[in-house]
Amino acid sequence: MKYMLIMRATDETLEAFQDADLAEVMDSMGRFNDELIRAGVLVAAEGLDSAEEGVVVDYSSEPPVVTDGPYGETKELFGGFWILNVASREEAVAWARRAPMAGPGSKCEIRRVATIDEFPQDNEWIKKEREWREATGQL
């Protein structure tokens, strides 16, 4: 099963992180990622750019409204993610507990990634996606 571990931060987290030594942060993240690689569970891992560089598309109106970052009154922002291929939710939680994310407001959300097999296989769009995944070596 695949699980996504989503790094979340608050304004307090980001403020505390401003004084952090980037070399130390990179070293601790690198060691953790290396553990995931050596254990054979890492599928993907990426950090996200600053919220100031992002946009939000809000679909509550027609046409949708696009807002540039930074976002006012945001309680939590995603900072990056790992996708792990593990045997259970408990194993994903165990890896998340080891992630180097100490600090005020730092959290890691864990969500299972649904597989294409969980969707109706007679749906034309699922069939097309399955063909694409097979052609690109993803299945």
Q: pLDDT digit string (tens) for 55-100?
A: 888 899 999 998 887 665 566 778 899 999 999 999 999 999 999 8
CA distance 10 to 112: 23
Whose tokens are 């695949």? That residue is 2
2-135: CATH, from 3.30.70.1060, 1.10.8.590, 3.40.50.300, 3.20.20.140: 3.30.70.1060
Provide Rg for the chain, Cα atoms: 18
Domain ranges (residues) in the chain: 2-135
Q: Which of 31-35, 74-78, 101-105 has the highest mean pLDDT?
A: 31-35
Determine the pLDDT at residue 30. 92
CA distance 43 to 36: 9
String of DSSP letters for 45-84: EEE---GGG-EEEETTSSSPEEEESSPTT-S-EEEEEEEE
